Chains A and B, each alone.
Chain A
């Protein structure tokens, strides 16, 4: 018997085993390579899809449109970017659905079955191809962040919230692949888009949305945008909850499993076991994140939110610039420059700035608990008691803010308040004129909030506070002149205010007055008369030097309550502008509702003159 090296029966078995193992290895490697190549091809195809282009254009347009006339606040805008990405997500859902269902829709299933790579590989390729639109979304988000930062956004973007927006795109892609794998008909994807789109439009719309989900269940939907975000002075951990990221990831993996399940065969126990394990992890993650999201916020979170709004002095950082102290919430440092432009504009026109330090303080003008009930609802007695206590604290603050000048310790006398919002571009005029009026009122010593004087009730807004009226006093015209020259873009706003006059009683005679809020959404207002506005307009027609010279000559007198408008007009060398009669005289002590031509008359306390 001739000995043959390497030809023994045991060696042949080993060689066969090695060959089979090598074939399997090369088969697995081939499959991976095919999957990656197919995924890359599908990703390119999706990125070139007109659907994705349209969705990206819509999202970019939404971001531009909503940011064009405001100074962005990052705790609102990182959520808003997510809302804008819903357009991309919808496009990806459709595109992925069409791609995944292409084989069966074209009747080519038998043809593809003849290929060496099985159907699960195609499904995996489609799932991986979502990386393409995800990269496009990433570029869009990066561009949006750069754009908003260039606009002087307040605060800083939260990566986990931006990540949630990107996960929306991934979830939509996985959902589209799952739908396309099971229901390749194009109408299935379109109907899914219509239903999900209707749900999301209802949840993302602001206050006027018709849907209010109970408790925290709103966060179980892919996305929502709470309306109260825009009024908060800073970010809060509960909007949106960080666990929403895990929730979206769990939904994405679940959708991928549904897609893969179509071709999962019981003859491959390893794969079935793997799928079951992943599904279990998914369920646990979804359960935990779902519970976290629907949980009522802790007392500590709510108390911090309320304290931030109602105790601004404790939570703000103050910065002094040339005898003006600016106190702002953290993150609003960039707004101080905008405020300083207006304040310096008013002070530069003043012949003699008061010795006392002007404090410009940022305040929250809207109830921070407003809208909380839309997202969460207390279920235990302790939660209800805490909410009631905090709500009482907020109500006390909101009622006292327009009335009590000493409410916020460390604020000046009178206090000069500015809100948390600020318009961008041409829309900044409204905020500028509000701050300019407040500052000008401070300069001439007029109260910006009711200093314990009897208040007139605002028509249609019970509980609002007004300052007194400097009827016939020269300092009112001076303050209006200071404000309108320092904030020229706000003159349009004041012109609009003239279309809404109120006829009030002063010493038995009707006087036409106008009320400008301290800031947007503020219930507190400062009032001025038509005569004062007309004199200020006449002063704007003069040269600045002439007005400054006249004011400087007797500045302390013009600041006082005894100087009258005719005296000021004479000092300026102009006629006191005539103003038309204020219309039908109301009953004694009455106030005529605006826009009614003097028809409705209510009995109100007579207006108080400023002292």
Chain B
């Protein structure tokens, strides 16, 4: 058999395995968790309507819309855990393929829930404005970017945990870590940090630092989301690689 024929046969087998692994990847998606998270997110919307219309607190809309994204991020943290990781790692398909399939299938309900939440929030804002309240329109773009960043951070946390000693816990370990990271980014004084950094760096870096002083929510979360996506993608490399603490060991004794 010629080399070209062997190569084309190998590619066909790989494609076939990839197609078969789709079914397994779909089975791995935590549908119950995702749907429960979407339900809780929608419950936040319902509570938002009640609070705003009952107590006339227009400031609750944006805040509760953002809070409604948190369950989605928590559910995303369960997405990349694979109880049979040791077996699936031996399949002749790139590890990123399974991840991409899972993210693709899970993305549909998450995107639908996000769109619905934003739609409800926008309608609520429109109703408040129609009643004469002076409130700004809903920043849909910024909030969409924020939700995407939340999910990306959760995916990155899930990917990192899958390689560590708590891989058996999966999302139970990744979700709290992701929520903590999201909270830290949300309250971090990024502008102040960049301003401080700019005062101790060379003039060229100062110029760059000023450009990096993003005042807008969308810019901050865009950057965070991008970093998280890169990290999650990088974590899909060699599936056999595991993180472990480096332990000081005694020097090996030479055999005499």
Contacts and interface: CB of A to CB of B under 8 A. Distances in A.
Interface string A208-226: 1011100000000000000
A211 B55 contact: yes
A288 to B, nearest CB: 28
A258 to B, nearest CB: 20
Contact of B78 (A98, A187, A198): A187
Interface string B34-49: 0011001001100000
A190 interface: yes
Given A187-B33, A194-B40, A210 B59 contact: yes
Contact of B171 (A186, A195, A208): A186
B209 interface: no
B74 A194 contact: yes
Nearest to B40: A191
Nearest to B170: A186
Given A94-B176, A194-B71, A187 B57 contact: no
Contacts of B59: 208, 210
Contact of A187 (B55, B60, B67, B74): B74
Interface in A71-95: 94
A186 B63 contact: no
Nearest to A211: B51
Contacts of B51: 210-211
Contacts of B75: 187
Contacts of B172: 98, 186, 189-190
Contacts of A186: 78, 169-172, 175
Contacts of A94: 176
Contacts of B169: 98, 186
Contacts of B179: 190, 194
A212 B37 contact: no
Contacts of B33: 185, 187
A51 interface: yes
| Listed residue (A191, A195, A208, A211) with the most chain B CB atoms within 10 angstroms of its CB | A191
B136 interface: no
Contact of B32 (A54, A185, A189, A194): A185
| Listed residue (A51, A54, A190, A198) with the most chain B CB atoms within 10 angstroms of its CB | A190
Contacts of B57: 210-212
A51 B176 contact: yes
A195 B63 CA distance: 14
Nearest to B77: A190
Contacts of A195: 40, 43
Interface in B111-142: none
Given A54-B180, A208-B59, A212-B57, A190 B74 contact: yes
Interface in A126-167: none
A210 B74 contact: no
Interface in B153-182: 169-172, 175-176, 179-180
The contact size tier of chain A is: 10 to 19
Given A185-B32, A190-B74, A198 B175 contact: no
A189 B171 CA distance: 12
Main secondary structure of the interface of A (DSSP, over half): helix
B198 interface: no
B182 to A, nearest CB: 11
Interface string A393-427: 00000000000000000000000000000000000
Contact of A190 (B43, B44, B175): B175
A198 B44 contact: yes
| Listed residue (B30, B32, B74) with the most chain A CB atoms within 10 angstroms of its CB | B74
A187 B37 contact: yes
A194 B175 CA distance: 11
B70 interface: yes
A331 B235 CA distance: 58
Contacts of B44: 198
Contacts of B37: 187, 191
Interface in A512-537: none
Given A186-B175, A187-B33, A211-B60, A194 B55 contact: no
Interface in B91-128: none
A513 B35 CA distance: 63
Nearest to B166: A50
B55 A212 contact: yes
Interface in A178-212: 185-187, 189-191, 194-195, 198, 208, 210-212
Interface in B58-86: 59-60, 63-64, 67, 70-71, 74-75, 78
Contacts of B67: 194, 198
A184 to B, nearest CB: 10
B60 to A, nearest CB: 3
Contacts of A54: 176, 180
A297 B70 CA distance: 38
A194 B75 CA distance: 12
Given A187-B33, A211-B55, A212-B57, A194 B70 contact: yes
A94 B59 CA distance: 30
Contact of B36 (A187, A198, A208): A187
B117 to A, nearest CB: 14
A376 to B, nearest CB: 16
Contacts of B55: 210-212
Contacts of A208: 59
A211 B169 CA distance: 36
15 contacts: A98-B172, A186-B78, A186-B175, A187-B36, A190-B175, A191-B36, A198-B44, A198-B70, A210-B59, A210-B60, A210-B63, A211-B51, A211-B55, A212-B55, A212-B57
The 7 closest A-B pairs by CB, nearest first: A210-B60, A186-B172, A210-B57, A187-B33, A210-B59, A198-B67, A190-B74
Given A187-B33, A191-B71, A195-B43, 15 more contacts: A51-B176, A98-B172, A186-B170, A186-B172, A190-B74, A190-B172, A190-B176, A191-B74, A195-B40, A198-B64, A198-B67, A210-B51, A210-B60, A211-B51, A211-B55
